Structure 1
Amino acid sequence: MQRDKIKEGNIDLSSPFRGTGSKRVSIQGFEGSFHQVAAEQFYGKNTEVICCATFKEVVKIAADKKQSDGGIMAIENSIAGSILPNYNLLLKGNLKIVGEIYLQIKQNLLVNPGVSLDDIREVHSHPMAIQQCFGFLDKYNWKLVETEDTALSAKHVHQHKSKHIAAIASKLAADLYNLEIIAPNIHTLKSNYTRFLVLQRQDIVNEIAGADKASINFFTDHSKGSLAKVLTKIADEGINLSKLQSMPIPGSDFKYSFHADMEFDTVEQFKKVIKKIEALTDGLSVLGIYKNGKINNTN
C-alpha cells in the first residue's frame, strides 16, 4: 500500500523524493527536515520517509503495519528542553522505543545557484531556526520571514527560483532541492542537539543485542517519600538515571507520572531493578529497551 500524500489543511506533504530502502518510517515535517536526517542516520541513506504534519500522525502511521515499518520522533532538545506532548503520545501508542539518535542541529544559509550574499533581501525559515542564527543574521539588513518548517522554506526557494530569498535549513535540504550553501553552520550556539526516538510496533520488536538503556513510565500512590523510595532502589542497583521527567496524569487532581531513562550494564541488571520497583509503584510500563545513542556531529 502506497501513501503518496499526507495533508494537513491546505498543506501538501507529498514526497517527490521516495526512497528505495527496506525501511519506511514516518517523520514529522517535510523532506529535508532534521527528522529525515535522523532517520537516515539510523537506517541508512535509502530510508523512505512518510512526511506527517503532526507528531500525533507520526505515531498513528508508525503503528500501522500497512503504511510503515515504524517512526522517528523528536523527544528533547539540549537548548529548548523536552517536548512534553510526545511523552503522552508514547504512552498512548502501541509502540516501543528500539533506538535513539542524538543529532547536532547545524543550520545553513541556502540559496539558488549563482546567488551572492549581496543579492539576498529576505531570509525564510522556522522561528526557532531564525532565533538560533541571530548572531549571524544581525550582521545583515535582511527581512526575516517566519515559516512553518525549515525544509519547506528551502523547497519554496528552489521552486520560485528566487534570486533575492534565502532559507535557513539542513545540508540535506540543500542536496534535495539543488540549493547552494552560501554560509554553513550559521547557528550561534554550536552545542545544540536534538534527541530522536526510533519507534516500532510492539508485535515486531525483538530483543536488541547489547542493549544498555531503557525508558519506563511509572506512578506512585503519592504518599510521602514514595518517589524517593523508587529512585533509591534504582541507585542501589548501580543504574544511572539519565533522565527523570514528571508529567500530569490526564483527568487526575494534580497527580503525576514519571518518565525515566535508565542506563545499565546488562539487561538482567535492568530487569532485576524493575522487579524491585514494581512493588513500590501503582503502575509501571517499560517503553523500550535499546542501545544508548551516541553524539553525532557529522550531519
Structure 2
Amino acid sequence: MNHTIAIQGFEGSFHQIAAQHYFGPALTLAPCATFTEVVRQVTCGEAHRGVMAIENSIAGSILPNYNLLQQNELQISGEVYLTIGQHLMALPGQSLADIREVHSHPMALLQCADFLSQYPHLRLVETEDTALSAKRIRDNQLAGVAAVAGRLAADLFEMDILAADIQSAKENYTRFLVVERPEDAQSPASPNKASLYFHTVNTPGSLVKVLSCIADHNINLSKLQSIPHPGRIWEYFILADLEFDRPEQFQAALHAVEQVAEGLRVLGVYQKGITY
C-alpha cells in the first residue's frame, strides 16, 4: 500500500510539522501547491492520506477546504492542532531596517497583520507557501526580502530570525484534518468526535430542531459552520463537529438528526486531536 502523505505546502511548512506529529517523523511526503491537489492525490490513490488545514484561531475557517470535503468522497480519519509561531526571517547578516519586502502565504500575512502594519514601507507579497518563500530567498540570495514562516523553515534554509512570534495573537492555533479514501479507512478504537454535513428546509425553526437533537443526547457541538449550497441562492450546507463520550451516544443522535435534516452525510468519526 502507498503510505505517502500528501500535504499542502513544501519542505519546512506547518503542514509538514503537523503530519510529523500525527504520523511520526519518518514518513514520505508529497508536497502540493494547492489543497485541490492534495484532495486529487488522495482521491486517485497517488497518496495514502492527506493533511489539510481547515481553520485557524486568528484567521478563522478556510471555507474552500470545507467545499472540497463536501464535493469529494473523502473521509476524515483524524485531526491535529498545531501551535503556530510566525517569524520574520531573512538572509544572514541583515537587520529589519534592511528589509523592503515580506513574502508569505496570505493566511500567514493575515495572522501577522498587526506587526506588519507598524512598517508601512514594507511591500507585502503573497505566495503559495510560507516555507517555500524562505527557500526562494535562500536559493536566489534575495537581499532586502524577508519571509514569514515557521522556525523549521529558518533552520532548514539557514535564515536569521529578525523578529520572533510576530502573530497578532500569541495563542495562535491551526487545526489540520487527516483525510483518506473511505475504502482505506479503519475504524478508530475509541472515537469521540464526528464531522457531518446536512442542510435543512428554509423554514422557521428547522435548524433549531437539528440542534435540539444533538443537545438532547448530551453531545457537545464544538463547531457549526454554514457553507453556500451550490446552485441554490441563499441556501446553505451546515457543517457540524460533534464531541461525545460513547459511539452509541453519537449513533442515537445521528438517527434523531436524520429525521429532521436533509442531505445528511457523515464526513468522519475519529478521535479528537492533540494540541502540539
Q: Same fold (TM over 0.5)?
A: yes
Partner of 1:90: 69
* Secondary structure of 1:63 counterpart: helix
Conservation of the 8 A alpha-carbon contact between 1:120 and 1:142: no
Could you say which residue in structure 2 is the equivalent of 1:199? Answer: 179
Superposed counterparts of 1:81-160, under 5 Å: 81-117=60-96, 119-137=98-116, 143-148=122-127, 149-160=129-140
Change (3 A) 1:68 1:229: same
What residue is the counterpart of 1:42 in the other structure?
Answer: 22
How far off is 1:82 after superposition? Answer: 1.4
Contact 1:97 1:200 in 2 (8 A): yes
- 1:33 to partner: Cα distance: 2.0
The code of the aligned residue for 1:290 comes to Y
Match 2:165 to one of 172, 185, 195? 185
Relative to structure 1, is the Cα distance of residues 280 and 158 closer, same or farther in structure 2, using a 3 angstrom cutoff?
A: same
Unaligned 5+ runs, structure 2: none
Q: Larger deviation: 185-194 or 117-126?
A: 117-126
In structure 1, C-alpha distance between the alignment counterparts of 2:89 and 2:234, rounded to whole Å: 47
* Structure 2 residue 220 is matched with structure 1 residue 240: yes
For 1:212 and 1:32, the matched residues in 2 are separated by 31
Q: CA 1:262/1:127 → structure 2, altered by over 3 Å: closer, same or farther? A: closer
The 2-side partners of 1:33 and 1:137 are apart by: 21
Counterpart AA for 2:85:
K
Runs of 4+ aligned residues of structure 1 deviating over 6 Å after TM superposition are none
Report how many residues are paired: 275
**TM (normalized to structure 2)?**
0.89
Mapped to 1, the partners of 2:146 and 2:139 lie a distance apart of 12
The alpha-carbon deviation at position 135 of structure 1 amounts to: 4.7
The farther-off stretch of 144-153 and 254-263 is 144-153
Quickly say closer, same or farther: Cα 1:47–1:180, change in 2 above 3 A.
farther
Partner of residue 33, structure 1: 13
2:236 & 2:114 partners in 1: Cα distance?
39
Listed as ranges, the gaps of 5+ residues in structure 1 are: 2-21
User: Closer, same or farther in 2 for the Cα pair 1:137/1:82, shift >3 Å?
Assistant: closer
Give the deviation of 1:116 after TM superposition: 4.4
Name the CA distance, whole Å, in 1 between partners of 2:141 and 2:96. Answer: 16
Residue pair 2:88, 2:166 contacting (<8 A) in 1 also = yes
Q: Which residue pairs with 2:35 in the alignment?
A: 55
Q: Distance in 1 between matches of 2:75 and 2:44?
A: 13
String of CA shifts for 1:131-172, please: whole Å, max 9, x gaps.
433554466686334131322220111112344332221112
Q: Distance in 2 between matches of 1:104 and 1:112?
A: 25
- Deviation digits for residues 89-109 of structure 1 (CA, Å, limit 9, x no counterpart): 112212110111112221112
One of 229, 246, 252 as aligned partner of 1:272: 252
Q: How does the TM-score come out when normalised to structure 1?
A: 0.83
Q: Deviations over 1:187-222 (max 9, x none)?
A: 232122211111011001111012110001112233
**Contact 1:123–1:142 under 8 Å retained in 2:** no
Q: Distance in 2 between matches of 1:253 and 1:121?
A: 44
Q: Distance in 2 between matches of 1:132 and 1:203?
A: 37
Indicate the percent of aligned positions where both proteins have the same amino acid: 51
Is 1:284 aligned to 2:264, yes or no? yes
Bigger drift between 133-142 and 54-63 goes to 133-142
Give the stretch that moved more between structures: 265-274 or 78-87. 78-87
Q: Is this contact kept in 2: 1:122–1:144, CA < 8 A?
A: yes
